[in-house]
Amino acid sequence: MSIIICPGIHESALTQCFVSGWIEQVIDEAKNKKAVDLLIFPGESGLALSAFHILQFLHKHLQDRIESPVVFISFSAGVVGSILAAHKWQQIGGSVKAFIAIDGWGVPMWGNFPIHRMSHDYFTHWSSSMLGSGENNFYADPPVEHLEMWRSPQTVQGYVLDSCFGQSPPKQRLSAAEFLHLLLKHYEDN
């Protein structure tokens, strides 16, 4: 399985915070079971909006492994280009296991693959879900700044909406990092 990180238009240091904050642990756990690749699209300077450039990146890094399952984790402007790239990847025979949109406010979400939204506040979750959201979504409560969702998902607390993989939503609060961990674990196991 490959995890494709599609950042927004911001300093690359924020993406490094995101990766070092929690995903390395997930990758280490997953590598003990199956091969997992972590690919970070260099989206600074507006390329995060370009499905064409994201597809080029996927072809370059996955080459002959097009059938290998891919999970997209995208943030902000990165959601724009990566949702289109996910569709195109699937059209050419690629396997999109899931798409996770972090603060992709106003971006229509549809697909022939599982979609999850994570939002920095309830209003963003509610207003974005009108454009499609899938199941098992997360919103921060109390609300946080937009970039905080990407910089420090381990400190952002909130709630899961919808059932969590056939179970009732947890009664306790989760961090955004814990929610992402649950999603990735689910897709790694299935």
pLDDT at 159: 92
Cβ-proximal residues to 77 (8 Å cutoff; 6+ apart), any chain: 8, 9, 43, 46, 48, 49
pLDDT tens digits, the chain, 190 residues: what are they?
A: 899 999 988 888 888 888 887 765 566 565 555 667 889 998 767 888 899 999 999 999 998 788 889 999 999 999 999 999 999 999 999 999 999 999 988 888 888 999 999 999 988 887 877 777 777 889 999 999 989 999 999 999 999 887 555 555 554 589 999 999 889 888 987 7
CA proximity to 135, closest of 108, 104, 113, 105:
113
Cβ-based burial of 133 (10 A; exposed 0-12, middle 13-18, buried ≥19): buried
Q: Which domain covers residue 84, as residue numbers?
A: 2-189
CA 40/CA 32 separation, integer angstroms: 21
Task: Give me the residue label for tokens 């990180």.
Answer: 5
Cβ-based burial of 64 (10 A; exposed 0-12, middle 13-18, buried ≥19): exposed
- The phi and psi torsions of 155 (rounded to 5 degrees) equal -105, -10
CA distances to 10, 40, 42, 84, 121 from 51, in Å: 18, 14, 13, 6, 27
What 3-state class would DSSP assign to 163? Answer: coil
User: What total of structural domains would you count in the chain?
Assistant: 1
> What CATH number does the domain containing 176 carry?
3.40.50
